[in-house]
Structure 1
Amino acid sequence: MRHFLALARTGSVRAAGSMLGVSHSTVARRVEALEARLCVKLFDRHRDGYQLTDAGNEMVSGAERVEREMAALERGLAGQDARLEGPVRVTCTDPFIAKILLRALAGLCEQHPGIELELDADAKNLDLSKREADVAVRALVPGASPPEHLIGRRLAPITLCNYVAAAHAAQLDPERGARPARWLGSSVHRIVRELVASSSYPEVPIWGTFESMAIMMEAAHAGLGFVMLPTYAGDPEPGLQRLARPDLRHVADFWLLSHRDLRDNARLRAAREAITAAMTERAALFRGEAEGWRETAPLRHELAPGAGAPRA
């Protein structure tokens, strides 16, 4: 059923194999064996991939029901595991948060060698119900709360700030009317436009498209423009400095999320405690109040346009 659903969702044996961590030939063999057992054709093979037949389409809902039941059974058993050993699958939003989590969890793994850490640093929402991850650090807008089937703890605010590369500050300084003063853009164009419009420099144009914070920071270092970044990424970065009007804005909060069925799992409970301690210790960094940046404008509370609760 897992192989069937993976192929139904991706339309490609290679993509399905990557999703399941097996070879594409394994996916093809398992699906062919399922078709032989059921004496029905579930997929039509085309040059550009696999397409569900009518029978395959009818089977999807039942297979998904089996998948949910098996996931619930697995979570129930895992939730009773009192051992401090086994896999701990953690997902977070970006590599900057991943560095903090790695430092926090390294001590746990050293103390308990039987724990095996898996860390995914990507903004995509892995499904906690299907145990694609055990623990997630995700962003929710202020005032939002996680879905009822998850346990959640608010960890730290996400505070945006305006930065420019120190080496290029003079020519890019919007206070001096410098040219080419410009904001660096990202792939979420609408959000960037709204943030710029509500900033201290709404008249400054947006230029370029940069897919990640890391790439955007490199573009800023290269003198291509100035940029809005979370303080947890921008303040520690050598060579970046805040603009004269940094526009500190509280746009979201980091939450620690896990499925309720896994509340009592010993190794996951220990991982959650380690992550909470690490994020709490860096509260000043997340608020934009880290040492060296105290003489700044007061923090404004503002919702990030388009932000919301994670899929669970």
Structure 2
Amino acid sequence: MSFAIHLGGARVAQDVDNLLLLLSVVRHGSYLGAGAALGISHTSVSRRIAALEKSAGARLLVRSGEVWEPTELGREFVSAGEDIELALGSLALDSGGVGGSVRGVVRVLVPEGFGGVVVGAAMRRLSETHPGVRLEMINAARRARTNLVGIDFEVVVGRPEVSRNEAFHLADYTLGMYASRSYLETHEAITEPDQVQDHPLLYFVESMQDVPELTDPVSYFPRMRQSVGATSSMVHVELTRAGAGIGLLPCFMAERASDLVRLFPRELTFPVSYWVVSRPDLLRRPAVQAVMSALRAAVHDMKDELAAAPPEDERA
């Protein structure tokens, strides 16, 4: 299967598979990453890209640090590859009908709690609408990365400062202070918000957390000592349930544990937001669009759970 594109008035016949391979190299930033995604060796990737460049009569890729980036001509070839991908994505590839038109692997970097709860709900929906799409997650709460190499998009906490990539708001959520029922039963009663500072804090490792929206809430508790620091919000929840101290937790995670009690929700509530960062070309991938659509639907359905407003009788 081949097609032709016009570049500079010259007609150059290109193999569809090699154009899609070029697209994969640009997205992953490496021959190794593209080969792993497509199930071929990096030497085969190198050979086929060289053949594509020979046919084009010019370089299509250049090294930029540790990644391969397209030349000006290469960007035109990449654009042609995207058009092919979109065209293939519009075909009903499954005789079963529903969801057969979109398939592929989508790699994302998301915070752990968001990945377990929100992405879980999204993938339940996606498995029904687009069963040919497979998701691979890397879990971390961190600042947006400059180069998206090997992933299609990332979900970050707080509004990111990006120049080369595209960023948009996805959801708002809330952090709150929680203690287990057993902890409250075995310690002196906490009757005022300031008294939480007399107890150990369970939260992120301070030296390893560089997201202001996650570090700023700690400044409200200058006397509070941290008994356990962990890089996992799910671990924070389990530590709090175990009675190791008072946890500063995402409410949409903590409220799922019936043995946790939210402390002073009117006073000790910290709004945070999730944002998506990606490249425009990656966001045009049919499989990525399918995942994003499922994520937006899940966020919409969970809006009240994410916001975690205080109960009516506890509001001002």
TM-score (norm 1): 0.62
In the aligned structure 1, how far is the partner of 2:75 from the partner of 2:65? 12
Helix, strand or coil at the partner of 1:237: coil
How far, CA to CA, are the matches of 2:256 and 2:34 in structure 1? 35
Q: Greater relative contact order (Cα 8 A, min sep 6): structure 1 or 2?
A: 1
Alignment of 1:150-299 (within 5 A): 150-172=165-187, 173-175=189-191, 181-188=199-206, 195-199=217-221, 202-244=222-264, 247-250=268-271, 252-289=272-309, 293-296=311-314
Q: SS state of the match for residue 171, structure 2?
A: strand
**TM-fit CA distance, 1:21:** 5.8
In structure 2, distance between residues paired with 1:181 and 1:78: 58
Q: Tell me the amino acid that sits aligned with residue 186 of structure 1.
A: F
Structure 2 partner of 1:87: 105
Tell me the distance in 2 between the aligned counterparts of 1:77 and 1:160. 45
The structure-2 alpha-carbon separation of the partners of 1:228 and 1:68, relative to structure 1 and needing over 3 Å to count, comes to same
Residue 279 of structure 1 and its aligned partner are, at CA, apart by 0.9
Most deviating of 67-76 and 252-261: 67-76
Asked whether the 8 Å contact 2:112–2:140 carries over to 1, the reply is yes
What does the per-residue CA deviation read over 1:155-203, in whole Å, with 9 as the maximum and x for residues that have no partner? 212321010001221334433879973222531158788534415xx54
Q: Take 2:120 and 2:289, find their aligned partners in 1: how far apart are those partners?
A: 16
Q: C-alpha root-mean-square deviation of aligned residues, in Å?
A: 4.0
Q: Residues of 2 paired with 1:128 and 1:87: CA distance?
A: 22
Within 5 Å, which residues of 2 pair with 1:16-165?
Answer: 62=63, 64=65, 67-69=68-70, 76=79, 79-80=82-83, 81-82=85-86, 83=89, 84-123=102-141, 129-140=147-158, 144=159, 147-165=162-180
Q: Are the structure 2 counterparts of residues 69 and 94 from structure 1 closer, same or farther at C-alpha, using a change threshold of 3 Å? A: same
Range with greater deviation from structure 2 (74-83 or 231-240): 74-83
Whole-Å separation in 1 of the counterparts to 2:252 and 2:77:
36
Corresponding residue of 2:59:
none
Indicate the SS of the match to 1:155.
strand
Moved more, 221-230 or 88-97: 88-97
Partner Cα separation in structure 2 for residue 247 and residue 269 of structure 1: 37
For structure 2, which runs of at least 5 residues remain unmatched after alignment?
Answer: 1-31, 44-61, 90-101
Question: Is the 1:78–1:265 Cα contact (8 Å) retained in structure 2?
Answer: no
Cα distance in structure 2, aligned partners of 1:110 and 1:98: 18
1:237-271: CA deviation from partner (whole Å, max 9, x where unpaired): 23111113551111x31012331113432222122
- 1:174/1:181 contact within 8 Å kept: no
- The count of residues paired between Structure 1 and Structure 2 equals 241
Q: Could you tell me how far apart the structure 1 residues matched to 2:152 and 2:297 are?
A: 18
Match of 2:9 in 1: none
Deviation of the 1:146 alpha carbon: 5.1
Q: Give aligned-pair identity as a percent.
A: 18
TM-score (normalised: structure 2): 0.61
Partners of 2:197 and 2:174 in 1: how far apart?
27
